[in-house]
Amino acid sequence: MLRGLRLEGVDYARYQMTAPWGLLFPAQGAARFHFMAERGCWLRTPEGDWVRLEQGDAVLMPRGAEHALASEPGACTAPLGPCAFERCCGEIAEARGGGDGAATLFFSASLNFNVDAQHPLLRMMPELMWVHEMALHEPGIPPLLGSMACELALDRVGAGGILTRLADVVAAALIRSWVERGCGSATGWVAAARDPDIGRVLAAIHLDPSEDWTVDALARVMHASRSAFAERFAAIVGETPARYVAQVRMHQARQWLERDRMRIAVVARRLGYDSEASFSRAFKRVIGKPPSHFRAAEQPAPSARPVDASPAGGFPVIARSEATKQSREA
C-alpha cells in the first residue's frame, strides 16, 4: 500500500535559536517535520502537553496539527513578533531569533503527501510520530539522522539540498515503520490493508484508481468467487467494494483537479465516464461539493516569504517567553 504513497517537501528551514525562545507552528494542510541537531527543546504537542525533545530526536506531524517548540515549557504564549528569516537557496530558509541564552540548532520542513487528505491511511495516522519510538524497529533511521546532524552543524556547500532529501526520506521511513509495526492501535482500514487477500485488492485499487474495478475484476485479484469476495470485503473493510472504489476514484479526481489543475472533462474521461455531467454527479455524491469548486480554487503561491503566521503559512511566528516579558517589565 505504501508503493503509491510519496512525500514531497515544499518548505524547509534551518533554525538557530537562543534561549529564551518559543515558536508557534499554526495548523496547516501539509505535514510538519522537525529534527533537533544541537541541544534539545520542548514540544507542545497537538494535545497541549509539553514533552522534551533531546538532541538527535525527530518528530513528524502527518496532518500538520498546531504545535509549538520552545526553550522551556510555557514559553510559547502568543505570536507577538516575527522570527528573522533569510532565504539562502531555493526553498531553504535560514532563521534566527530568541534571547542571549543557550543556542539550539534544528531543522524543519513542510511536506505534502501525493494523496488526498481523506485517504484512509492519512486519517488513521496519529497527530504526532516520534522517531525514538520507532528507531529500534527501523535500523536505517539513526544513520540518516546522523547525516542530517553533520550537514546542519558543518553547513557545507550543498548542505541545503542534501538536508531536504534526507528529511523527505526520514519522514517516509517513520510512516513505513508505523505501518509495519501495526499502525499503533489503528483498526478497520489498516486491519484490512494488512490482510493478505483484501490487502492485495486494496493495493490494486489505490495503485490504479482509473481502472474499471467491477466486483468481478476485484474478485479475480483475490482469486475468489464474486460472492465470497464481496462478503469478505464488506466484513473486513466495513463497506461494499463498489462504494469503496467510488470513494478512492473521487478522491483521486480531487487530487487531479486541485493539485494538477486538470480540466473536469479530462478527469471524467480518465475515470471512464461518458459525460462530464455524470462524473460531476458522482463526484458531488462522494466529496460533497461539485468538481468545479476544486477546479476554480486558488492555489497558494509557491514562493511566498516564510513569515506568514496564518494557517496556510509554511513557517511559524516567534513568541517571546513569559520570562522575557517579565524581565523587560522589571
User: Does residue 143 have a cis bond before it (omega within 30 degrees)?
Assistant: no
Grid coordinates in use for 139? 535500523
- Domain limits for position 104: 2-185+305-329
Same domain, 196 and 311: no
Helices (H), 208-321: 215-222, 226-237, 241-258, 264-270, 276-287, 291-295
β-strands 41-44, 50-53: how paired?
Answer: antiparallel
Same domain, 81 and 160: yes
How many domains are there within the chain?
Answer: 2
300, part of any domain: no
State what percent of residues in the chain have pLDDT above 70: 74
Same domain, 291 and 311: no
Same domain, 160 and 290: no
pLDDT digits (tens, 9 = 90+) for 94-109: 888 888 899 999 988 8
Same domain, 171 and 205: no
What type of residue is 289?
Answer: K
Sequence length of the chain is 330
Same domain, 168 and 219: no
CATH of the domain at 223: 1.10.10.60
Mean pLDDT of 11-24: 87
Same domain, 180 and 198: no
pLDDT digits (tens, 9 = 90+) for 257-288: 987 889 999 999 999 999 999 999 999 999 99
Same domain, 142 and 196: no
274, part of any domain: yes
- Residue 236 pLDDT > 60, yes or no? yes
Same domain, 36 and 175: yes
